[in-house]
Amino acid sequence: MQRFAFAGRTCLITGAASGIGAALALDLAKRRAVLALLDRDAERLERVAALAREVGAGSVTTYVVDLSDGGDRLDLAAEIASRHGGVDLLINNAGVSLTGTFEQNRMADIEWLLEINLHAVIRMTKAFLPQLLARPGTHLVNVSSLFGLIGPPGQVAYATSKFGVRGFTEALRHELEPLGVGVTVVHPGGIKTNIAANARISGADPGGEQAAQARKFAEKALTMPPEEAARRIVAAIQSRKPRLVITREARAADWLVRITPTRWWQLTQGLAKRIS
């Protein structure tokens, strides 16, 4: 499969108003891509779109969509096909997190997280798959997580969603690559975004302790700038890399869970205590 060329290609990014999504938008804009940016935060999305236009994007369109609503996205796919003729690159990046143990988590919050982190990835891929299949040299990227490789306590809902993204993407890759569609699953580790600090609090949180712990974790453990993560993702797309694990800690965890799949957590508790 040939390397992916970005100039003039239509790239659709979800969760594009902040974090890795915004960094991807600006990186691709510098490569003269045509951008379709999606997020629920209209104000931030427009700011990213304006910056993308300034740095050289072929063109930029924005779509204010709340991925938690369970829509099939067929209307969105039809609108983008009408404007751009279809997409060449789909990056399912949007994601949210949830604090608390499984016992504490409310079912409504678990369902909310699964809808955004997993079901929206499936719905978007299903809606845009005909466009990817119809155009030559297209590519699909689904962003999983370090917690799609390991399942620590306190992350039951999040790990469930990200393991789901991993399995969905790996199986789909074997179906699509023979048809000319490249597929990449991304497992970011400690990227400095607001996902942990903005986690939804599920269940009782006396004194805001869970929220405070999430902020403290974000300050200590999430250190890689999203621009660096975006650069690595773009390089993986360009080379058609099927799997990308970002950050040294994520690669170490990936290795450790292969070596000792049932005891890795006990071996890492000391480190976890130092960064929690």
CB-neighbour burial class of residue 246 (10 A; exposed 0-12, middle 13-18, buried 19+): buried
| Of 65, 67, 35, the residue nearest 48 (C-alpha) | 35
pLDDT, greater one: 196 or 94: 94
Query: pLDDT tier at 215 (50, 70, 90 boundaries)?
Result: very low
* Sign of the CA dihedral with 202 first, then 209, 149, and 260 last: negative
> What is the per-residue pLDDT for 198?
58
**pLDDT, tens digit, for every residue of 243-263?**
999 988 889 889 988 998 887
pLDDT, greater one: 4 or 216: 4
The catalytic residues are 158
Which string of b and e fits 48-64 if b means at least 16 CB within 10 Å? bbeebeeeebbebbbbe
> CA dist 97 to 26, 35, 112, 218, 220, Å?
24, 26, 10, 12, 17
Helices (H), the chain: 19-30, 42-55, 74-84, 107-114, 120-134, 156-176, 209-221, 226-238, 248-259, 264-275
Place of tokens 């910056």: 51
Helix orientation angle between 156-176 and 107-114, rounded to the nearest 10 degrees:
30
**What one-letter code names the amino acid at 204?**
A
> What is the per-residue pLDDT for 248?
85
Greatest Cα pair distance in the chain:
55
> CA dist 60 to 82, 93, 185, 195, Å?
14, 18, 25, 25
Q: What is the pTM of this model?
A: 0.89
Averaged pLDDT of the chain: 89
Q: Is the pLDDT of residue 177 over 80?
A: yes
Percent of the chain at pLDDT exceeding 70: 86
Query: Once rounded to an integer, what is the mean pLDDT over residues 28-50?
Result: 98
> CA dist 24 to 11, 59, 110, Å?
10, 15, 28
Instruction: Show the domains of the chain with their CATH numbers.
Output: 10-275 (3.40.50.720)
